[in-house]
Structures are given as C-alpha cells and as structure tokens.
Amino acid sequence: MRAFRTPLLAGVGAVALAGSLIFPGIAGAAEPIVEPNRFEIAATDNGDCTATFELTDLSDGRSNWRADYRVDGEDANFNISAPRPAYRPVVVSNQAIADAIAGRANPYPVAANEATVDLTESRIVPTANTDEVKTLPGVERNETGTHEVEFGVYQGGVLHTDDIYQKVVTITVTGCPTTEDGSDSPDSIFGSLGGGSLGNLLPGLEG
C-alpha cells in the first residue's frame, strides 16, 4: 500500500503545480493620480494580461481629456502641438469625444471613461498624420510574463501645462504568455514536469 501512495501523492503534487502554472497572476491597482478640478486617472492589472484604465473628468465638462497607455517604453506613435507625444489612445472623458473619433474616416478604438485592454491583442492607433491609422502588434512572449505599462492624459485641457501631462500611473501587467509556456495545453505542462500524460504522473491509477 505504501508503494502505491508515494507515486500517487507525487503525481497529485505535480498536478497541483501544473495547475498553478496556468492560473492568472495576482491583480493589483496602482495609486491613482488626482489633478484637482481637472481629472483623475487610475490603472489596474487584472492578472490575466489585461489592464483596466479609468479617466474621470473633474472639470465639470469644461475639458475634453484624452488618455493613452505605453507598453514597455515603446516609441511614441504620433505628436500633437502640445503638450507631449502620444502612444496608444484608450479612454476619453466623455461619450461625445468617443463618438467623434468613431465617426472619422479612419477611426481608432477609445472608450468613454473606462476601458479594459488585452495586451496580447493588436491595437489600431493614430499615426503622425492623425487622419491616418496603423496597427500595433500585441505583446510578445517573454521570460516573466509581465509588462510595464504607463497610463496618462496627453491632451484635453484649455491650459497645456507640462506638469500634468508628464504624470503617469505605472503598473506591472501580469499573467501574460511566457517563453517557457510554449503552449497552454495540459500535455505541454505535464511534459515539462517530466511526464507526457496524466497517466504517467499518476501510475497507480492505471490498471
């Protein structure tokens, strides 16, 4: 009986370990940035390679704020007259702005106030000529399955003061594909643990 229990427990432990490898990461939110009478921005890592971005207008509708996110220190995608270059637009401060962008000849996706983005998916963004768009790829596999993301307001206020536009919320987005995963299939995970199938991990269960 003892000879049977030892491989069974080892197999169960291996299954538990394999299960832990495919669970999402631990979600976490960064400290929001509040600019009184202007806006509040917040970003949350959801632990599954997605991030939620929030933009709240504190100006009583006097401003049309637009916010973007930047992944792993990437280069800017377009420049505007003031106050800084922009990366991947994602949320705006009211539905009227979102509708106006959606109605362009070459629209790009933005949402009013809040949006959740999957970093593995490609994204359409404006180019240097803001009447045109291009598609940026999703993140690639890396060793850690994490990516650094910055989120901030790049346009919208009547007064384009540099300080408010340089402030960004930074989060580490977790739960993304890694180079060690290769595949999310059970056989791939079990194989990496030294067995090619569930039966190999639990030999005592086979007849």
Predicted pLDDT at 51: 98
- CA separation for the pair 40, 127 (Å, rounded): 26
Predicted pLDDT at 191: 42
Predicted pLDDT at 10: 43
The mean pLDDT of the chain is 79
Q: Please give the C-alpha separations between residue 76 and each of 124, 194, 204, in angstroms, as whole numbers.
A: 14, 44, 57
Predicted pLDDT at 198: 42
At which residue do the structure tokens 């594909």 appear? 177
For CA atoms 103, 151, 178, 183, give the dihedral sign.
Answer: negative
Predicted pLDDT at 160: 62
74-88 pLDDT, tens per residue?
Answer: 999 888 665 788 999
Query: Is there a contact between 15 and 201 (Cβ–Cβ < 8 Å)?
Result: yes
Q: Is the confidence at residue 189, as pLDDT, over 90?
A: no
55-110 pLDDT, tens per residue?
Answer: 999 998 888 999 999 999 999 988 866 578 899 999 999 999 999 999 999 999 99
152-181 pLDDT, tens per residue?
Answer: 999 887 666 778 898 999 999 999 999 986
Q: Is the confidence at residue 42, as pLDDT, over 80?
A: yes
12-29 pLDDT, tens per residue?
Answer: 343 333 333 334 445 688
HEC sequence for 85-125: CECEEEEECCHHHHHHHHCCCCCCCCEECEEEEECCCCEEE
- CA separation for the pair 119, 72 (Å, rounded): 11
201: which 2 tokens? 């991990």
Q: Is the confidence at residue 185, as pLDDT, over 90?
A: no
